[in-house]
Structure 1
Amino acid sequence: MKILLTGGCGFIGSAVIRHLIRATGHRVVNVDKMTYAASSDALEEAGRDPRHLLIRADIADGRAMAEVFAAHQPDAVMHLAAESHVDRSIDGPADFIHTNMVGTFVLLEAARSFWRDLNAKRRAAFRFHHVSTDEVFGALSAGDPPFTESTPYDPRSPYSASKAGSDHLVRAWHHTYGLPTIV
């Protein structure tokens, strides 16, 4: 299986890649913009494995994403790329809206175009996994029950609002176009 993983040089993305390389036979195409939160050092071991390929690209670049899909023909997408620091989102929300919402939209469109042209067997097996955050549910007070998947959204920062928006885009692409997604 070949997985296109976005944000693979971030904290969580790099842990996912290390797991995939150590525990599976999967190949990983890691698309990362390499911003302030990225660290290629976290992938030193995986970076030496021929099953891992790092592509420095912006998920909001439609041409680049179409080229990645065409060149690498993934079986699944694991979308972890995001601007993710709440305090930074308060100081400057534009990057969060651009990456988390516009970038997710561009990636969804590239995935949809690619998926639409697959043969029936590959189409049926393809998945777009979108990684969200508990921040979309707001904050818990002492004594509140834990969040569940059915907890209503209550974003309270530009970061959490941008992630909630991207979650809704992913669900809309599933319901509107049939793209097989998981949030």
Structure 2
Amino acid sequence: MLPATETIESPLRNPTVLRLARLAGLLFGGIFAGFLVAVLVLELSMRDVDGIVYTQMRHIELVGLDVLATVTLLPTLVATAIVIAITFRNKGFARWLPIVAFALLAGVLILTVIVNLPINADQRDWIVSMPPTDWASVRDRWQISHAVRTVAAVLAFGALCLAAIPGRSAKP
């Protein structure tokens, strides 16, 4: 038991916690956004290939990309939530940047779960030599959803970067 004169300081009041959360958000958020941009470029470069080549490439993409997305998006969300918890009571525009980033990242997660992951699961079962007749419309739906979530992730990363600028960001 602590004497009456001693108090326990909340870890959320420790400036090191805020710095580490910002660093984690920037690191994982940057990797996540960059990864989504790279996949978008790859997907767009395959717009003119036939169903067999597209299916084969998707099988290769699906080997580990879902894992990479998970291990970068989830820590970004957690780190951003910590930054929000620490800075929310502060005044000024800068406190809203992590909230915007979190909302965009949550939207990415929801879109991924609703659109992209079910398509990924279906595409894993496609036979490379015999893609389904509607493969191009499935590809288009996946790519549109992916483009939306890529833009959202890049905007979220931008908001996290702006929030981390010294003098602009609020202190705990």
TM-score, L = length of structure 2: 0.29
Structure that is richer in helix per residue: 2
Structure that is richer in strand per residue: 1
